[in-house]
Amino acid sequence: MRILQTLQTSHISGAMKEIWLFIGIFISVFIISVVFVNANLFFHTIKGMFSTVKAENYVFSSSGTTNTMNAVLSDENTDNILDAIPKDHIPFVSSKQQIEANLQQKKYDFSFSLLPPGNRIYIPSIGVDAPIVDISATSETKLKHGDFASELFSGVVKYPSTPEPGYKGNTLIFGHTSYYRWKKNPFGEVFAKIYQLQKNDEIKVARKGQLYTYEIIDTAVVSPDKVDGTYMKYTDGEYITLMGCYPVGSDTRRWLIIAKRKMPPQNNMILSLH
């Protein structure tokens, strides 16, 4: 009897060890898989913890590098700048003295930046600079299932049925927060840091030669079937909503960033990204 009990105890103990071994292997494989799939995201997240983006002077070009053109006029350099202007380029003034008088009265603002070609989105506080992909026509099946995998290799995507920036309504733009490491997608983590965005942060959209600036007013984490009901609450003005999958390496929920357009001053004649 004792031998039988000993054998039963030994058998149960051995079975428990196998179960714990299986659980340990499963957890290890799961962790290694998550780290492997999202290695780039983890790298940039850790790197971002030790570096900051200077948003106040963050001006972008189409290549993703800073490309600013500022003409700052002061008493010391006004003469040099005016002397460098060919006379045939200023037929609307009669003299150098008149230009100086106008500048002293601060009638002109010479601080400006050149907009890059194409349609792009800029988020200075997290260093995002990416093309916006337009889908002019698509199949009903593609819209129903939200299958835009090929377009997301070229940037972030403006959802086809949402309005253009500059029009009343809510423009929905979505992008990857993480992607398969073995698939070379240059925009696989373009929205990886949107969770860091806070209220009052700015989002800038350059579209068809115009610059639109939005200020974040709300954020939300919802299930896919709640996306429409959440972002469509904001349609009584000019809004933009950014969307990315959440959490890391999963598409079970959606992170939404909702921002309202900041209307430029009526007398602002110079377009600036500052």
Q: Per residue in 97-122, pLDDT tens?
A: 666 666 666 555 555 556 667 799 99
- From 63, 68, 185, 216, select the one nearest 130 (Cα to Cα): 63
Q: Phi and psi of 173, rounded to 5°?
A: -125, 130
Range of the domain at 135: 118-261
Q: Is residue 123 part of a domain?
A: yes
Report which DSSP code applies to 264: P
Report which DSSP code applies to 94: S
pTM of the full structure: 0.61
Q: Is residue 90 part of a domain?
A: no
Q: Is a pLDDT exceeding 80 seen at residue 217?
A: yes
| Alpha-carbon gap, residue 109 to 101, rounded angstroms | 14
Beta bridge partners of 130: 121
Tell me if 38 sits within 8 A of 46, measured CB to CB.
no
Considering 2-11, 40-49, 175-184, 212-221, the range whose residues carry the highest mean pLDDT is 212-221
The tally of domains found in the chain comes to: 1
Please give the structure tokens belonging to residue 128. Answer: 């995002």
Q: Is residue 182 part of a domain?
A: yes
Tell me if 203 sits within 8 A of 238, measured CB to CB.
no
Tell me if 261 sits within 8 A of 238, measured CB to CB.
yes
- From 219, 220, 203, select the one nearest 211 (Cα to Cα): 203
pLDDT digits (tens, 9 = 90+) for 237-261: 999 999 999 887 788 899 999 999 9
The arithmetic mean of pLDDT across residues 170-188, rounded, is 89
Other residues' Cβ atoms within 10 Å of the Cβ of residue 206: 23
Q: What is the CATH number of the domain that holds 129?
A: 2.40.260.10
Q: Is residue 96 part of a domain?
A: no
- From 200, 186, 183, 173, select the one nearest 254 (Cα to Cα): 173
Q: Is residue 44 part of a domain?
A: no
Q: Is residue 219 part of a domain?
A: yes
Q: Is residue 165 part of a domain?
A: yes
Q: Is residue 38 part of a domain?
A: no
